Amino acid sequence: MSDKPENEGRDGFLARLSALETVVLAGIALLALAGLMLVGKGVYMKAKAEVSQVLLKRSFEAQLHGETDAKPWPWADFSTEAEITAPRIGKTAVVLSGASGEALAFGPARLANTPAPGELGTSVIAAHRDTHFRWLKDVEPGDLLVITRKDGTNLTFRAGPGRIARWDESGIDADASGRHLALATCWPFDATEQGPLRYIVNAELVASPDQPKLSVLENTAQLPVKSF
């Protein structure tokens, strides 16, 4: 058995490296560390998105029961105002008021100066492609999208084909005649950085003879937005 100290082998290995080899080894170590940090950040963001939806769901249910000032947590600068469900693919998410950076970190948000879902015009809901609207790519033409508003109104929209457009050339008209819904997220879905393109799914309200009279909800954001 050798009596050499345990770390002598490692020290000897490092001593035999040339200056270039040492730099390369250090670079590999830094890349590995950066990779671990990026993976950790991605896992953290996805975990935060999932956990926050639990709290948002609780807040939204409180609003449905008449608690108008219910917030998911005391310091939130937004409130819940609707829930969107895509029944065919089994996806659902609570929609927030105001598409601020903080709001979009926790869930889909209705854009500003666009009407509430079901009102005259085009209601626009945006979310991040890697969390809450990752499923948007799976929505097919003809799929039904169900919106439950905080006033208890249930609305059904029929999706059209998805399309790709620049964020500043979306073609969305908030004042269009009829009652429309537009869901928007960044594109492409597998990109790691934000770009100028958006993936948009337009939908039309499905008329129902027993649908209650729609009430106007307050608008809290503005078009266009870049930060989703």
How many angstroms separate the first and last alpha carbons of the chain? 62
Q: For residue 188, is it within any domain? A: yes
Q: For residue 158, is it within any domain? A: yes
Q: What range does the domain containing 186 cover?
A: 44-205
Q: Judge contact between 136 and 183, C-beta under 8 A.
A: yes
Structure tokens at 14: 């490092």
Q: For residue 25, is it within any domain? A: no
- Alpha-carbon distance of 190 to 193, in angstroms, equals 9
DSSP string, 165-193: EEGGG----TT-SSEEEEEEEESSTT-SS
Q: For residue 81, is it within any domain? A: yes
* Selection from 157, 150, 172, 127 nearest residue 217 by Cα: 150
Give the mean pLDDT of the chain: 78
- Alpha-carbon distance of 85 to 92, in angstroms, equals 4
| Residues pairing with 163 in the sheet | 200
In this predicted model, what pLDDT tens digit does every residue of 71-123 receive, in sequence order?
A: 777 777 788 999 999 999 999 999 998 766 667 888 899 997 899 999 999 99
DSSP string, 48-102: HHHHHHHHHHHHHHHHHTT-TT--SSTT-S--EEEEEEEGGGTEEEEEEES--HH
Query: Bigger pLDDT: 30 or 41?
Result: 30
Is residue 218 helix, strand or coil? coil
Query: Bigger pLDDT: 30 or 201?
Result: 201
Total tally of structural domains belonging to the chain = 1
Q: For residue 211, is it within any domain? A: no
Task: Kindly report which listed range (13-22, 113-122, 130-139, 154-163) carries the lowest average pLDDT score.
Answer: 13-22
User: What count of other Cβ atoms lies within 10 Å of the Cβ of residue 160?
Assistant: 18
CA 221 to chain centre: 16
What pTM was computed for the model? Answer: 0.72
Q: For residue 93, is it within any domain? A: yes
Task: Kindly report which listed range (99-113, 123-137, 146-160, 166-180) carries the lowest average pLDDT score.
Answer: 99-113
> Is residue 55 very low, low, confident or very high in pLDDT (cuts 50, 70, 90)?
confident
Q: For residue 21, is it within any domain? A: no
Residues 6+ apart with CB under 8 A from 207: none
Query: Bigger pLDDT: 60 or 112?
Result: 60
- CATH number of the domain bearing residue 109: 2.40.260.10
Q: For residue 186, is it within any domain? A: yes
